[in-house]
Structure 1
Amino acid sequence: MNRPILAITLGDPAGIGPEIILRALASPDLIPCRPIILGHPAPFEALLPRIAPDWRILCLKGDDFSKPLPPNTLGVVTVGQPDEPLVLGSPSPGWSRLALSAIDEAVRLAAAGNVDAIVTAPIAKAQLRPFAAGFIGHTEYIAAQVEAEPVMMLAGRGLRVALITTHIPLRSVPDALTTERTLATIRGVDTGLRRWFHLRHPRLLLSALNPHAGESGQFGREEIEILAPAVEQARAEGIEVTGPISADTLFIPQKLALADAVICPYHDQALIPLKMHAFGSAVNVTLGLPFPRTSPDHGTAFDIAPQLIADPASMSVAIQTAVSMTQSPQESA
């Protein structure tokens, strides 16, 4: 198997990002790869004696990461120098700004071909907005930098869900839902599953928006006027998609067994079943980018960060998925 170079952003250093990165990389079950951490060595200097005392830090410079690191070594690229002290559980402007700089550097390296994939540790969106106006999430922020049309997909334990709309208020969803946007999401999921997950003929299910799929228009006409036309056009293009299907019966095992991914109109409609099914072991994948990008399925967990009890399972799956996405069909088989 090829050992791809992964740019791993440290997330908000006051959260559990550095801890789950270190635990995942120090695990004997780590999938073969060459991880490069973007951020700052300070969080790991504090964690190493308590989590991985036989590991050391190697500060890296430049853009060439082709030389393998020695065993038990964290390769860290410093992207900023905050003035304030780092306190686990208490985010601060300087360290949050560094988290954003780590994302920027990861995108630059991936776009230039210096790394093969990006894995992002959790950030606190509100902490980044003073430095990136309107910041609503990794997905949208990274896609804007490379002028891509992203699709947010989460996957875990055999279930994949993708979103037509992402981080917007629930009351804004009907107005944001269009045939064009739905069709673009269907196309993006189909293309992404073919390109990155090596599925030759992806099978997609599209969830309805309204109760009982609108009940022939009685409970809303979005299914008739927006979703069904998108499905019809996608099927005319050769995409295997079925829907819209009432959401209250969509996630039953019999239907999921016939699908490679489920597409939902809004955030919680997709993420509630996904996290009930695979919380802590699911991964967030951004489709539509020119490079793989993954992340854990949870947030910064500032409340438990000082206790050093974070579960690295989702970060481990994010790393594993990023590696898999860089492989050829033969290597990933």
Structure 2
Amino acid sequence: MAPVPRLALVPGEPAGVGPELCVRLAQRPRDHHLTVFADADVLDEAASRLDLPLRLVAGDEADGQRPGTLVLHEVANAVASRPGVLDPRNSPAVIDALVQAADACQQGRFDGLVTGPVHKAGINEGGIAYTGTTELLAGRAGLDVVMMLANDIVRVALATTHLPLREVATAITRPGLERSLRVLHGALRGDFGIAEPVIAVLGLNPHAGEAGHLGREEIDTIGPVMDGLRAEGMRLVGPLPADTAFLPAKLRGFDAVLAMYHDQGLPVLKYSGFEQAVNITLGLPYPRVAVDHGTALELAGSGRADPSSLFAAADACAGFARARLHARTTGDPR
């Protein structure tokens, strides 16, 4: 019998929609175990507002598969949380939950990590320098990672993540771009089971630099990296102008798109299917999948938040974890 994946679940910002989304997730039948790293009172209150059953139990892994039940790893907030009202005093608990869950995954206690939305500004207001969970997890693992968002239509990976626009060009270097493409290529083969992935690589500048008239990054950096990796057998297309790369006829020929910066690729992905999109961190020793939306403070406590992205994140993470478990137990990469 195949092993059942054990997933760690972190709701994120307690004043946002994350806790109630986790309560909704707990109601589903599932083929994986779920352990939530959170404050018990926040989850209980969210369940009460939604009028949904929730049992929080300690330690019994079998309970992690039962609808209406979550195994709890308690990470207490500093102060009581109110839906829609940020309190920076709870920022350390938000980070502690992420760190404890990530460390438990690295130690092999869990097979994957599912994360809800966090509030970057709120964490920084709490005195914790924070640019994003992707960067936090990369630092804990000491590895180069790549952020990829995906839905049923397109997979978009990022060469740079949460940077001011004026810093992007400097951040795109030959070594960094090569690392990103290697991580993306490896994940498409290993986690997605694509034997020979085709990756579209966007240019940085309008019209992919217009042969150097609108910038030389494509000539001096992006193109040479792609040429070197093509020589190793990678199937790379580009550098492509970003304004036409996402045409449906072109996308059908790509397994993923590597965008040079956050707002170059992600608006297209979110327009194409925001509710079902997930955020995947590639290159970690365990699969991590997050929702593709923010804390939605204006919806918190209303019961109107759409749980589709968290459902998709949990399903995707379980699938990746199951594939990795299969590879470890059989020696077969898929």
What TM-score does the superposition give when structure 2 sets the normalisation length?
A: 0.92
Q: Per the alignment, in what secondary structure is the counterpart of residue 248 of structure 1? A: helix
The change in CA–CA distance for 1:132 and 1:200 in structure 2 (over 3 A counts) is farther
Inter-partner Cα distance in structure 2 for 1:251 and 1:174: 22
Match of 1:170 in 2: 165
Displacement of 1:262 after TM fit? 0.2
Please, which runs of 5 or more residues in structure 2 have no aligned partner? 328-332
Structure 1 gap segments, 5+ residues each:
none
How far is the alpha carbon of 1:72 from its aligned partner?
A: 2.4
Q: Contact conserved, 1:10 with 1:121, CA < 8 A, in 2?
A: yes
Find the aligned partners of 2:167 and 2:26 in 1 and give their Cα distance: 40
Q: Following TM superposition, by how much is the alpha carbon of 1:328 offset from its aligned partner in structure 2, in angstroms?
A: 2.7
Instruction: Tell me if structure 1 keeps the 8 A contact 2:259–2:265.
Output: yes
Write out aligned runs for 1:94-243 (5 A): 94-129=89-124, 133-243=128-238
SS at match of 1:114: coil
1:26 aligns with 2:27: yes
The match for 1:80 among 76, 83, 106 is 76
Question: If the length of structure 1 is used for normalisation, what is the TM-score?
Answer: 0.93
Distance 1:75 1:165 in 2: 36
**CA RMSD, Structure 1 to Structure 2 (Å):** 1.9
Deviation at 1:81, TM superposition (A): 4.3
Kindly indicate whether the alpha-carbon contact (under 8 Å) linking 1:24 and 1:313 is maintained by their aligned counterparts in 2.
no
- For 1:42, the equivalent position in structure 2 comes to 41
Identity over the aligned pairs, expressed in percent? 35
Q: Aligned partners of 1:310, 1:153: CA distance in 2, in Å? A: 23
Paired residues in the alignment total: 326
Listed as ranges, the matches of 1:268-307 within 5 Å are: 268-307=263-302
Deviation at 1:74, TM superposition (A): 1.9
Any idea what SS the aligned residue of 2:8 has?
strand
1:71: Cα distance to partner?
4.6
- Check whether the contact 2:83–2:300 (CA below 8 A) recurs between aligned residues: yes
User: Which residue in 2 is equivalent to 1:316?
Assistant: 311
Cα distance in structure 2, aligned partners of 1:271 and 1:181: 20
Report Cα offsets for 1:125-149 as digits up to 9, x if no partner.
Answer: 1222356743100000011011010
Shift of 1:153: 0.3
Give the match's secondary structure for 2:73.
strand
Cα deviation 1:219-270 (Å, max 9, x = unaligned): 1111111110011011112111111011111001111101100001010111
